[in-house]
Amino acid sequence: MTLLPVLVAVFLGSLTLAFVLYPLYRHAPLEVLQQRASASMASTQAEVEQSARLAIKEVEFDFQLGNLAETDYRTWRDRYTRRAFMAMKSRQASEEEIDALIEEQLRQLRVEHDVSEIEEEHETTTVGDDNAQGKSNNATGKDDETNG
């Protein structure tokens, strides 16, 4: 009778552990993971920036109401301004990295597109040359069948 609760606890614990560790064992492409990370990082940076702006407004409001001394007001305002500035700078750097990745992918697509156009052009001119050569032979009256 005392073994049953232990077995149930072990079973539930292993299920919980499997549930928690499952995302670590899921294999997603590296690009997908990078996009997810950059998207979550961008939202986090935006949230930090927004919270710093809100804090600046609250500090200004408290100062105007007389709840903060001028030295405290300046200290808090400078702190939150720096925090907002750092978040904006970090977000801008992340956006520049994303823009660079997009530009690189566009360059690769353009190169692939240009190569396929050149191949199509080459195939068209090769088929066109074969047809033109056949027409010139027919125009002079010389066919491969009559020469043989």
What proportion of the chain, given as a percentage, has pLDDT over 70?
Answer: 70
**Cα 130–chain centre separation:** 47
- Distance (Å, whole) CA 82 – CA 76: 10
Check residue 31 and give its pLDDT.
56
Domain ranges for the chain: 34-135
CA–CA dist 128, 120 (Å, integer): 12
And the tokens for 76? Answer: 């808090």
Concatenated DSSP letters for 22-85? HHHH----HHHHHHHHHHHHHHHHHHHHHHHHHHHHHHHHHHHHT-S-HHHHHHHHHHHHHHHH
Q: Count CB neighbours of 35 within 10 A.
A: 14
Average pLDDT, the chain: 77
Give the model's confidence band at 103: pLDDT under 50 very low, under 70 low, under 90 confident, else very high.
very high
Residue entry with tokens 């977000």: 91
More confident residue, 142 or 7: 7
Q: Is the pLDDT of residue 57 over 60?
A: yes
Cα-Cα-Cα-Cα torsion 105, 109, 110, 114, nearest 10 degrees, comes to: 150
Q: Identify the burial level of 32 via C-beta atoms within 10 angstroms of its C-beta, where 0-12 means exposed, 13-18 middle and 19 or more buried.
A: exposed
Residue 75 above 60 pLDDT? yes
16: helix, strand or coil: helix
Q: Render pLDDT for 81-99 as a digit per residue (tens, 0 to 9).
A: 998 888 888 888 888 888 9
3-state SS assignment for residue 7: helix
Full-prediction pTM beyond 0.95? no
